[in-house]
Structure 1
Amino acid sequence: MTGEMNILPISQNAPVTSRPQTSGELLKLLTPMEGLISAGQSANAEVLSLKQADQAFQLLLKITLESGRQTTLQATSTQPLPQGTSLAITQPSAGNLAITLQQALASSAATLTRLDTGQLPAGTLLQGKVLTSQVMPQESGQPTVYRSMVSLLNTALSGSTLSIDSPTPLRIGTLLSALVQDSQTLKFVPLGSRSEQLAVTQQLASQQSRQGSLDGLLKLLQSLPAGSQTSSDLRAAAEKLLAGLPDVQQLSSPKGLALALANSGVFLESKLLGGLNPSLAPDMKGDLLRLIAQLSPAPNTQMNAIIAANTLAQAMPSFMRNALGMLSQVSAKPSPTSFPLADRLLQNADGEDDLQHLLRLAAAAVSRLQSHQLSSLEQTGVTADGRLMNTWQLEIPMRNLQDIVPLQVKFQREDAPEKEQPKDRHEERPPKQQLWRVELAFDMEPLGPLQVQAQLISGSLSGQLWAERPYTASLIESNLTALRQQLLDSGLNVGDIDCHLGTPPQGPQTRLEQRWVDETA
């Protein structure tokens, strides 16, 4: 979508519409509350969120009373009040709040009326999310104008709100990008999958803030007590989850490894889209969601039901239902995401019982799996030299005797740039060359934390191993000759294989590099 949109200036002589019953703009409370603000008194309010519903606008307000007590309320308004707007309010009736006309006009100043081209020079790329969209009344013969409020997501103005006029309607919730033309004009930029990449990045940040390590939940499930608090269905869900964990022996065979990868939870959405019943085959993410369903409080208490609903909403956002479809799309190559994900253990909160803590751990475990999925999406795209890179990042909890060791895995496949078609149609086209990268990270006693980086191209394998314990690094170094021979016996050409003490350095230039060079040229 291209076209210009104008930043709407606020009129200094806005018309004042008379109000027969009050001197202020009315906000209708969704849940009437009588006596919230005493007669003759006022309170301060801040708009926490804004959402459009048909021709009205739903607001979430944080009210601060004169006593200092704070509360949140939901209200509707005929006018959009941007997030962060401060208001002085009174309460003329149980179902309404009122703000003075002067205060209502002042609140509109919270939206930007012009851009400072010294701070944002022409050509600056702005990204934002559409909060509201209204068609404006027009005189006969005049083009239709749509007025929208857009929350900015980047630059120093992040969090600010723009009020803009556009010749085309902007769908609410849309992520858009525009170039600064001058202080009053922006120009849409067709970025294709870049806007989807922005959505992935936002969701990834949200998921990572909620995720927790898998082993904390699994170790607690192993010692789940049998009692009045744990129903038979809950114990059955826990046993099913634990029974689906592979052991080291299973992961040592190609068939067992392929099965563990398929059941890791990273492909759950693909299975559902394909019509497969997830209950017919084990799946880590599906088993976690079933466990959450058993842990959710019974709906005999309204507050418990709300808590359970919020937990489930955080565990599986609707965005993930269609995000996997983006793996095949081409987008600008993002900066690499750190690998592996760091351990994150959640402690019991004050006043939290065992089942509440277990529910929180299960939701955090789902968020961790989704962090891997979103990291895969974020790292899928086109490299600077035109190669298409696909990434699959996941985590498999594996059994090692009595311990459960989370194994983090990342596969990356790079396809060589497309070559020109042969001039002679009978001439055979050379096979497409692919470069595979594999990274592993795990912490297994008595070896301690280990990371492996390997790459494979045209049957040639090279790699590096990193151990944090000196004894382990020395042990691996002494067995590299035997490892090389095993790889040669399997039919691979083996390049450099080294072992290092410590952890791989982080940064865009630290991974193993392979140039697409034709050695026969």
Structure 2
Amino acid sequence: MNIPPLPPTVPATPHAQAVSGELLKLLTPMEGLISTGQSAKAEVLSLKQAQQTFQLLLKVTLDSGRQTTVQATSSQPLLQGTHLAITQPSAANLAITVQQAVASSVATLTRIDTAQLPAGTLVQGKVLTSQVMPQVSGQPTVFRSMVSLLNTALSGSTLSIDSPQPLPVGTLLSARVQDAQTLTFVPLSSRQEQLAVTQQLVSQQSRQGSIDGLLKMLQNLPADQASSEVRAAVDKLLAGLPDVHQLSTPKGLAQALAGSGLFLEAKLLGGQNPTLAPDMKGDLLKLIAQLTPGLPANTNLNAIVAANTLAQAMPGFVRSALGMLVQVSAKPSPTTFPLPERLLQSAEGEDDLEHLLRLAAAAVARLQSHQLSSLEQTGMTSDGRLMSTWQLEIPMRNMQDIVPLQVKFQREDAPEQQQPKERHEERPPRQQLWRVELAFDMEPLGPLQVQAQLISGSLSSQLWAERPYTASLIESNLAALRQRLLDSGLNVGDIDCHLGTPPQGAQTRLEQRWVDETA
């Protein structure tokens, strides 16, 4: 698809559409809206395409300062936020002149600045309008669309593009920049899902709250403040929490990972009954279902619960989210690990039941933040490696305390082209690189983070402790840890302990990948 070039006399910069003297037809004729010989200011509040016409909602400001809204139709699209000067030649019509496009979000780009978006950059957008252009004899039909950009430094801007096929209004598209005037379509399926995941992740993270705050309240919930159904749901949730001893065995760890809530949707899609084994997310949803009927009639928490539980099948939720995407004004913040602690305080006038429900909804949002982070970090890397990510959180018992253990597994598969070019049946299995990250805060050690990677039986690891005493204690036991790893049959590389927290950024991880150090 091509970006239509500007006329030679117009500078090649973002600009507002040149519309002057065009007529808008009022949906409801309004005689005397503007006095004869007078003009008024108007701003486009919304734009909606209907076949080959466009429905506008205008906010009109008269000379007296009085404001009113009117609905009109136009043969040309006028983007939201465009300022107009209008007169009224008849009761059913308005004559308009575009005054300005007040911000970059309503400017129409007619070329791509390759200094900001170099060739190869992926751009994603949502189609706002689509029109068939006048037919030129002997030339193929051209469809012109306005597309709202949803990513890159130009997020929020509108791009005018020409294509040989019509682009349905409201659909998402992905394309790569070829040059200042040309884009190339990218298959949509995975890109649409990635865009939906990223935007939903931002929403979920704004609602999430730490799980341990909910669990501590459940532990101390008075018996007379909960019905028997709520008490049963609470007891089931607390009984499913693993302890440190269970997590120290392979079987116990596998059970805890399976019950973390990360795989609830996969269980449902696979026809499994999630009630047969503890599942953190499933148990939280059951608790919410038991708490909701007991809400006061005037509570406003029903909306919170509905927003956080969403659909219970993640693939369906992702697909339905595609139809609900709205324009975003800023790039989402990158995914971080671990998720920071976030405690919700009781709101004024809120009783214990309402606060408990709000904590449960926030805990579901936190689990969904981990799930969405896993999806966001899964896919092909720029150099052809397949990256798979599983990020989750396991509340574990440590004596009387509940300690949230955050875990992230990442697997990288070697690029296909790096495999030996032999017959398929003689080709060895593709080499895999595993990374594991842990984060927890356990007394008396304090906050700890661990990063480890395993490739071809060789293990390397870095540990970070925020308390000097803990860092010193770990340092003095590294030799014993190394020996235990050697005894288990692993080749052990670097194992170090540091005071503080891991540096953030894409290049701070252990970078041993597909290089054979013994070659």
Q: Give the shorter-chain TM-score range.
A: 0.7 to 0.9
Q: Which residue of 1 aligns with 2:107?
A: 112
Give aligned-pair identity as a percent.
Answer: 65
Residue 82 (structure 1) shift: 4.6
Q: Which residue of 1 aligns with 2:459?
A: 461
What secondary structure is seen at the aligned counterpart in 2 of 1:495?
strand
**Structure 2: segments with no counterpart, 5+ residues:** 6-15, 34-39, 320-331
Indicate which of 251, 262, 266 corresponds to 1:266: 262
In structure 2, distance between residues paired with 1:502 and 1:266? 29
Q: Which residue of 1 aligns with 2:302?
A: 308
Indicate which of 290, 304, 326 corresponds to 1:294: 290
Distance 1:137 1:469, change over 3 A: closer
1:14 and 2:28 matched: no
Indicate which of 271, 277, 281 corresponds to 2:273: 277
1:226 and 2:220 matched: no
1:342 and 2:335 matched: no
1:199 and 2:169 matched: no
Please tell me whether the aligned partners of residues 445 and 467 of structure 2 are also in contact (alpha carbons under 8 angstroms): yes
For residues 236-255 of structure 1, the aligned pairs below 5 Å read: 236-255=232-251
In structure 2, distance between residues paired with 1:340 and 1:194? 26
What secondary structure is seen at the aligned counterpart in 2 of 1:203?
helix
Residue 43 (structure 1) shift: 12
Please tell me whether the aligned partners of residues 386 and 417 of structure 1 are also in contact (alpha carbons under 8 angstroms): yes
What secondary structure is seen at the aligned counterpart in 2 of 1:227?
helix
1:150 and 2:147 matched: yes
Residue 398 (structure 1) shift: 0.3
Distance 1:483 1:155, change over 3 A: closer
In structure 2, distance between residues paired with 1:261 and 1:158? 38
The RMSD of aligned alpha carbons is 4.5
After TM superposition, the score normalised by the length of structure 2 is: 0.75
Distance 1:107 1:295, change over 3 A: farther
Which amino acid in 1 is paired with 2:20? Q
Distance 1:60 1:308, change over 3 A: farther
Q: Which residue of 2 aligns with 1:214?
A: 211
In structure 2, distance between residues paired with 1:244 and 1:506? 33
Please tell me whether the aligned partners of residues 278 and 286 of structure 1 are also in contact (alpha carbons under 8 angstroms): yes
In structure 1, distance between residues paired with 2:407 and 2:60? 48
Q: Structure 1 stretch 161-170 or stretch 456-465: which is displaced more?
A: 161-170
Distance 1:117 1:447, change over 3 A: closer
Which amino acid in 1 is paired with 2:338? P
Q: Which residue of 1 aligns with 2:478?
A: 480
In structure 2, distance between residues paired with 1:299 and 1:87? 49
Please tell me whether the aligned partners of residues 449 and 464 of structure 2 are also in contact (alpha carbons under 8 angstroms): yes
In structure 2, distance between residues paired with 1:513 and 1:254? 27
Which amino acid in 1 is paired with 2:266? S
Q: Structure 1 stretch 465-474 or stretch 336-345: which is displaced more?
A: 336-345
What secondary structure is seen at the aligned counterpart in 2 of 1:505?
coil
Q: Which residue of 2 aligns with 1:28?
A: none
Residue 383 (structure 1) shift: 3.7
Q: Which residue of 1 aligns with 2:372?
A: 374
Residue 145 (structure 1) shift: 6.0
In structure 1, distance between residues paired with 2:83 and 2:293? 37
Distance 1:297 1:24, change over 3 A: farther
Count the aligned residue pairs: 476
In structure 2, distance between residues paired with 1:410 and 1:145? 48
Render the CA deviation track for 1:253-297: whole Å, top value 9, x for unaligned.
Answer: 100000000110111111111122222322111111222222335
After TM superposition, the score normalised by the length of structure 1 is: 0.75
Q: Which residue of 2 aligns with 1:407?
A: 405
What secondary structure is seen at the aligned counterpart in 2 of 1:264?
coil
What secondary structure is seen at the aligned counterpart in 1 of 2:427?
coil
**Structure 1: segments with no counterpart, 5+ residues:** 26-41, 90-97, 326-333
Render the CA deviation track for 1:221-270: whole Å, top value 9, x for unaligned.
Answer: 11122335x33222222222111111111111100000000110111111
In structure 2, distance between residues paired with 1:146 and 1:135? 5
In structure 2, distance between residues paired with 1:374 and 1:108? 36
1:506 and 2:504 matched: yes
Residue 217 (structure 1) shift: 1.1
Render the CA deviation track for 1:326-375: whole Å, top value 9, x for unaligned.
Answer: xxxxxxxx997432111111122233332222222222211211221222
Q: Which residue of 1 aligns with 2:166?
A: 169
